A and B are shown apart, each in its own frame.
Chain A
Amino acid sequence: MATGRGPAGAGTGDATDASRRDFVMAVCAAAASPVMLDVVAGPEAAPPQSDEPRPYDPREHYYGMGIDIDKCIGCGRCVEACKSENNVPRDAHHFRTWVERYVITSDGETVVESPNGGADGFPVPAGEAGVLRSFFVPKLCNHCANPPCVQVCPVGATFTTEDGVVLVDEDYCIGCRYCIQACPYGARFLHPVKRVAQKCTFCYHRVVRGLLPACVEVCPTGARIFGEVHRAASPLTRFTRFNQIQVLKPHLNTRPKVLYANLDGEVR
């Protein structure tokens, strides 16, 4: 009885079985009860929650962007959309996203250009015959998981939100430009009128409303993919599964969340 097995318990077999059954039943009941409670209580409890959209909780998200170099046609619609959506100064020096064209000639020389950020398209490269390969590289803030710009800000005016987006607090920025110096990707600029640092926000005001960033919204070829980094069902996860992923300047250990597919080794 004490051990419930072996010769010692053979004589009291019935009692052992009964108590064993009781024990198993009790364990099963105990294990099932919260589940059962949920199942029974679920239909009554759930509808009030699902009726109205739940308020946005940044802790449930972690955003990143994928860029497929093989799909970018250099039309510059993303640059145009970004300027419209975010009131970026309409001159040729301030961009939150821009498109670079790489032209690699057969004698090994690499020419990178971005006339007006690519917003007006690109001219046919001069000396077309000597071009070995050429492609477009859309660029924007990499929303690094280890952002140097946040590290250097002396007042805490730039920060990483809980959903992984690096933002600038315009009302608190003192315009010292340390972050512009610190960004290895050249993604920041000083707003010529407001005199504060600005950069890509992943269109945070759109994302929290369930919309896509403006550049992703208007990309006609689907070269830009926006989604959750860690979620199993996300366009970005699919993108990373089907492509060889690279990031810009990986040796700097900034851990960017803008992921490039089909990136040429010449791109810096």
Chain B
Amino acid sequence: MTGWRARLRRWQPVPQQVGRLALVFVVLVGGLVGARRVFVPATFGDRGHYRASAVPAITALEPKYAGHEACAPCHAPIVEKKSLSYHRGVACEVCHGPQAQHVMAPLDHRPPAPRTRAYCPLCHGYNPSRPTGFPQIDPVVHNPVRPCITCHDPHDPTPPHPPESCAACHGEIARTKAVSYHAQLPCTQCHVVDPRHVTSPRQIRPGKPTTRAFCGQCHARDAQSAPDIPRIDLDTHNPGYVCWQCHYPHSPEAH
């Protein structure tokens, strides 16, 4: 104890207040270093102004989508068929959903397949905002009610042949006509249809009747047609008008 005091007395040349200030300084610096040690996370600043250990925590998350290369080893025929079709750029998981679990345990997790009419129009429903040339249909009139997969194989969506009946695209008109007096008439009775209209519907338009005389082929007083077809006198029946200004040919009214 006395030795300690004797040693301190030797420090007398340093003023007492400077010694105290030094003590305060040491305590402050020590507190700062201690606080830093407690509050700054262990790996903070290792690679930048962040916790380096956050990166492995993020990379440890498990992917839910297996990726487009995971399917081919087991489903080679379907992948091969799809790779030659218009859907070659569409990954399997677009329609079948995230399937990393299916890759790990194929039998425990079966991928769903959308089979309803609601799914395909997400891409192929007509919308003027979509880029020009992208294949689109109007779900209301395009073969109503039938699921898309009855005609289109999603793995090779090109239909086996161009539409055969006009109802494929003009369903609304076909349904109206089917319950009208004109039900028995084929569309080509009145419309001149270029065969190319089937593949380029908007470029090649079908022809429509333009004269009163066309309807008169069946409905004129002197027409060579079945006797139960209603007749009018073309000369006196509202001259100056064309027929379809009053009559809708796909559903002409009753007698």
Contact = CB atoms under 8 A, between A and B. Distances in A.
Interface stretch (B59-67, B161-169, B226-234): B59-67
B18 interface: no
A71 interface: yes
B128 A134 contact: yes
A135 B98 CA distance: 28
Interface of B: 41, 44, 47-51, 54-55, 57-65, 67-68, 87, 89-91, 93-94, 97-98, 121-123, 125-131, 134
Given A77-B94, A172-B51, A85 B63 contact: yes
Given A124-B127, A134-B128, A136-B129, A211 B67 contact: yes
A205 B62 contact: yes
A85 B128 contact: no
A222 B54 CA distance: 32
Given A134-B129, A159-B50, A167-B58, A85 B122 contact: no
B131 A71 contact: yes
Nearest to B93: A218
A167 B60 CA distance: 14
A219 B90 CA distance: 7
A212 B67 CA distance: 7
B122 A76 contact: yes
B65 A218 contact: yes
Interface string A103-147: 100000000000000001110110010010011100000000000
Given A71-B131, A157-B50, A159-B48, A171 B64 contact: no
Given A74-B127, A122-B129, A131-B128, 18 more contacts: A71-B131, A73-B123, A76-B122, A77-B94, A121-B127, A156-B44, A156-B50, A170-B54, A171-B54, A172-B51, A205-B58, A205-B61, A211-B63, A212-B67, A214-B63, A214-B64, A218-B94, A221-B89
Contacts of A158: 50
A73 B130 contact: yes
Contacts of A206: 63, 65, 67
Contact of B41 (A125, A170, A172): A172
B65 A85 contact: yes
B128 to A, nearest CB: 6
Contacts of B57: 169-171
A63 to B, nearest CB: 14
Contacts of B44: 156
B64 A85 contact: yes
A73 B89 contact: no
A99 to B, nearest CB: 10
A162 interface: yes
Contacts of B90: 220
Contacts of B50: 156-159, 169, 172
B141 to A, nearest CB: 14
Contacts of A203: 63
A171 B42 CA distance: 13
A217 B47 contact: no
A198 to B, nearest CB: 11
A162 B121 CA distance: 41
A222 B51 contact: no
